[in-house]
Structure 1
Amino acid sequence: MNRWLALFCMLSILGGAYSYYTPISVGANALTTMSTSLKTISTTVGNYYVSLNLARTKIFAALNDLTQYVNVTYGAFNTTYGANQPLLNSFMSTVGYLNQSVAQGDNQVTQGIINDFTSLSQYLQQSIDTILQSFSSLSSITYNTNGDNCTLRNATQMANVPNDLVNLGTCLQVESDQITAIVPNVLNIIGTVKSDLILLNNQLKICSSQSPSCITEYFNELWQEYSAFQMELYLLQSVVSSAQQDATDRNRFCGDLTKADVQDDIQNLMMAVSSCMYPSS
């Protein structure tokens, strides 16, 4: 109790307790708005990254299923025909490369999600720091006769500045919807690739076991057909990579716009308070 009395007396000596209390009270209301905004953003960010991770899980589960089919199918071909088909032996190294490519793709996507989250956290932190600094600046410039009135006159504007942060959440919600729209298309591509491979591999059944020329012809052509399959996977990788990079770039852009919006609103607020406190004659 004595500590609070001492603080009250000190504020009174420095220029009036009420003139200190008013900007702090208004700032507290603004902090309440910020808290509400951050809760909204927190929910949206959570949903966004749940959507990203769910998309990653579905896509790479389908890719792993595809690589499993390739490994089993061509492993069986190699066991049955490898001794008499030299081209098949070298072809099996390409099958191993597919496994590595899918694993690397998963790692790249995961790292991209981490980088995206890190960037968004930085943009949000920078905007929050700017807002908090403005509260501190307002408290320091309103210690005069007009301080209380000018602060109260602009209280609504001050309290609304943190609402700009919600714009970041709005952008993320759009990206979440975009993810939901893209995933089925990617899964359809993977399914089509697997279907094409099944059709290609079933063509070996045309050859009689007593027809080595037919079998040799099949494995001679397999390289060319498999190249088309690899091109489909390359295009798939490009689609996924481009979609992820586009989302990251849009989030970065949204973060820059949010920061600019916050800075302009704060500048306008400072000018309004300053003009009120020190009106031109």
Structure 2
Amino acid sequence: MMIEQPACNNNNSTFFMKHTFPLVFLLLVTACSEPAISISQTQTDVTEPEDSLSIVEKHYKEFNDSVKSISKGTVSNGSLEHGQLFPFSGKNYHYFDTNSYLASRCFVHSNVKSCVLDTYEKLEKTAPNRLFGIMECSNEHGGKIAPHRTHQNGLSIDFMTPLLKNGQPYTDLDFAGAQHYLMNFDANGRYEDDPTVSIDFELMAQHLLTLIESARTNGLTIEKVIWKMELRDELFATESGKKLQQSGVYITTNLTPLINALHDDHYHVDFKLK
């Protein structure tokens, strides 16, 4: 996720934008969608109230286009034809916010959809009983998707950062909706509101490595991963992180204070068509 940068990048501006972004986002997605619906889940699957499930299922069936997608332009100035809506949930993944989903902010290029679904299928075996989260993608036809600066041609996805609590898998914060973008983690990956909650760097690296593998077989490469600079060393220190560092995938090293501050609760991935 990248958003428009203000003219000033001082600490006050960064703090203001970091803490007002979720409110702006929430107003945007609720202005044109159904009321928020509560979601409950287990470690191995996502379950929802019957009414909620029928709403997202109807939405998926209504907008699910089987025609191969066409991405035009760039992630920051582009459009999308025959975009494909990503499923709301599966055995080991879920979309982070019902309102955002019903506002059609979860469209991707068909190759990206296949790549990410392949990734989650592989992770069922390599990371069993773990739950993964998808955040904002693109509009149905691409173009500007406020307040993001990119996400314009179906080749960008925000992936939710996996968490641990006291060293054990933790998903209670996965269903915070738009407020998830507000979460802050310190330079060691600890959640500022509850230091017993921390980023699962090993699982994040496993996910990215699997995503790289699936991209190759789906006509894609990973062009860029946007991730908080202070957390790069923590990521690369894990067993899978060392392999990720050697993979050659570019993980950003030079971000403005604002963009840097925003990318700890999630990591932004830009794909590129071969």
TM-score (norm 1): 0.21
Flag the structure with higher strand content. Answer: 2
TM-score (norm 2): 0.21
Flag the structure with higher helix content. Answer: 1
